[in-house]
Structure 1
């Protein structure tokens, strides 16, 4: 059974590589390395050989009608049908058993320090495969609806960027600005990958700007790993970099103390899902609850405060109170026009 499980996982990895628009026409060696890195965290060839990948692609063609072809010109494999994916094929009994096996194994480790931050994700997987004996059952959606996430662009860059971080190598990529819509080539030393609200970001030392910059992976294109050794700031500490942050914004500014009041209904939500780890209740009144926290004031935090509208009143600092008042006034003017 373990052999079957690994084969099914390899099919999914091969499928993902063949659909990767940023690295088209993967060679047999590329596919082997991708499978070996995903399954064993290594790509030396000690665990998977090229013949295994050949057998996998043959099985994908025979069992799943995968339209895999080899391009002599590009010296790599591809799908002849652009929209084909093995993920659209209903799960077989072996697929279901493989997923259940993996889920039951992982969920046993959800309280281990290494996996604590993924506890809720592991629980979701465990619930999904155990809530019904047949995860393919379409009628299940009539009784249970799980939260869905829009597919994230740029996730294919996670593995090569992690490799660059570990090896401290320089990477190049084109980056599109939200403001101007223009693309510009970047040269950076990757420092840290961070997920925020189902999006991935790269914190990197920009070798042109000579500063630490945050880049969204969904706006990256044409990623290129080089053999150049990168330059890293001496004072960068991955564990402390986001200590005072809400969201993805971090800088050299000092955190500020924020005091705010919330009506008691909103206060229950805010207490159960704090804005920041430093948040604490300082006073509970009949109608409102007072909070304090010490954070870097960022656009992400301001947007979260704004989302509560009239249910929250920021008391301190005054400039943040004025900023919120201005935004609310602009909203009033917008709706009055």
Structure 2
């Protein structure tokens, strides 16, 4: 029997009705109870039909369902339904095919979060679920999240997460891209953030006296816990911190600016469907040109974002940023001329 996303909700409602010995549920009552629950979830729901309810009862009575045993009590021309055993409930039954399929899909999705600190328990759980349910092979996966399991430094995630939680001071051997040799950095860790499939750790760096110093995990060679008093973060709300930027870097002298852009052709349609930033205000100047206004702090990631669109975008304001982008494009052109 084909099922939709509300099928399991209906089965639970019907189960409650069938085991309620204090009320008689006729077919119209069953429809009403199911519709009340469905309308709470989706006010636009058109409800269900008598045919659907009879189909649900047939499924619940089948081996693919829970094999329920119903008694039909006739009063005049009407019939009400009740479990033969008042103590029966599908909640007390072993998992059926539908429930197992729900779990299969859940495992499929959860398996893609392996390695992320708050989902570390999945690593041990998934093999047990796979064995218990005789689950799918890899080619049955139907949902894929954007991630890079081969990213250098991703194995540090769990240990860093624990260090933040337990407030431990860490000493890092760190290799910046621009440096020939590794440097040593002390950090009091506060926050982990992912951007563009890379992870970054934020914390207090005593050498710079900054509470928002960040390290890219793929540039960390190793780290160790050291016995120093942990300095707590009492100045940065991380939700607010990232509100005015795109990406992970916030210039020390950065200020909120009004940004004016024009996007051309299909790129404009893409930008309207996936806004750049929460402050975005857009309007079509003509059929092929979209004007976009933003309020944010210009940083390296935003600059790279603009450059990634090449000839499909033009910076109008601020002029300093427009000139910088123009200079970068000119330098790129020289490589081909």
Cα shift readout 1:253-280 (whole Å, capped 9, x = no counterpart): 2221100111131111112222222122
CA distance in 1: counterparts of 2:200 and 2:138, whole angstroms: 35
Secondary structure, counterpart of 1:257 in structure 2: strand
Superposed counterparts of 1:96-111, under 5 Å: 101=103, 103-104=105-106
Q: Could you tell me how far 1:206 is from its partner in structure 2?
A: 0.7
Q: Do 1:278 and 1:294's aligned partners in 2 also have CA atoms closer than 8 Å? A: yes
Superposed counterparts of 1:134-145, under 5 Å: 135-136=136-137
* Residue of structure 2 equivalent to 1:201: 200
Q: Could you tell me how far 1:134 is from its partner in structure 2?
A: 7.0
Cα shift readout 1:105-142 (whole Å, capped 9, x = no counterpart): 7979xxxxxxxxx9xxxxxxxxxx9xxx974366x79x
Q: Do 2:190 and 2:233's aligned partners in 1 also have CA atoms closer than 8 Å? A: no
Q: Do 2:173 and 2:222's aligned partners in 1 also have CA atoms closer than 8 Å? A: yes
Q: Do 1:207 and 1:231's aligned partners in 2 also have CA atoms closer than 8 Å? A: no
Superposed counterparts of 1:264-279, under 5 Å: 264-279=265-280
Displaced runs of 4 or more, over 6 A: 97-100, 105-108, 143-148
Secondary structure, counterpart of 1:278 in structure 2: coil
Distance 1:282-1:146 versus aligned 2 partners, 3 A rule: closer
Q: Could you tell me how far 1:308 is from its partner in structure 2?
A: 1.1
* Residue of structure 1 equivalent to 2:291: 290
Structure 2 residue runs of 5 or longer lacking an equivalent are 1-98, 111-118, 120-129
**Is 2:264 the partner of 1:263?**
yes
Q: Could you tell me how far 1:247 is from its partner in structure 2?
A: 0.9
Secondary structure, counterpart of 2:290 in structure 1: strand
* Residue of structure 1 equivalent to 2:324: 323
Secondary structure, counterpart of 1:305 in structure 2: helix
Secondary structure, counterpart of 1:328 in structure 2: helix
Distance 1:171-1:146 versus aligned 2 partners, 3 A rule: closer
Cα shift readout 1:125-174 (whole Å, capped 9, x = no counterpart): xxxx9xxx974366x79x99986735112122222222222232211110
CA distance in 1: counterparts of 2:311 and 2:322, whole angstroms: 13
Q: Do 2:147 and 2:197's aligned partners in 1 also have CA atoms closer than 8 Å? A: no
**Is 2:213 the partner of 1:216?**
no
CA distance in 1: counterparts of 2:231 and 2:205, whole angstroms: 9
Provide the TM-score with structure 1 as the length reference.
Answer: 0.57
Deviates more, 1:148-157 or 1:299-308: 148-157
* Residue of structure 2 equivalent to 1:248: 248
Distance 1:258-1:146 versus aligned 2 partners, 3 A rule: closer
* Residue of structure 2 equivalent to 1:151: 150
RMSD of Structure 2 on Structure 1 (CA): 3.4
Q: Do 2:251 and 2:299's aligned partners in 1 also have CA atoms closer than 8 Å? A: no
Cα shift readout 1:187-223 (whole Å, capped 9, x = no counterpart): 1100110001111110111112211311011111221
Distance 1:331-1:237 versus aligned 2 partners, 3 A rule: same
Cα shift readout 1:5-28 (whole Å, capped 9, x = no counterpart): xxxxxxxxxxxxxxxxxxxxxxxx
CA distance in 2: counterparts of 1:292 and 1:334, whole angstroms: 32
CA distance in 2: counterparts of 1:145 and 1:104, whole angstroms: 12
Q: Do 1:188 and 1:230's aligned partners in 2 also have CA atoms closer than 8 Å? A: no
Structure 1 residue runs of 5 or longer lacking an equivalent are 1-96, 109-117, 119-128
Distance 1:105-1:219 versus aligned 2 partners, 3 A rule: closer
CA distance in 1: counterparts of 2:145 and 2:244, whole angstroms: 32
* Residue of structure 2 equivalent to 1:162: 161
Higher Rg? 2
CA distance in 2: counterparts of 1:145 and 1:161, whole angstroms: 26
Distance 1:150-1:137 versus aligned 2 partners, 3 A rule: closer
Provide the TM-score with structure 2 as the length reference.
Answer: 0.57
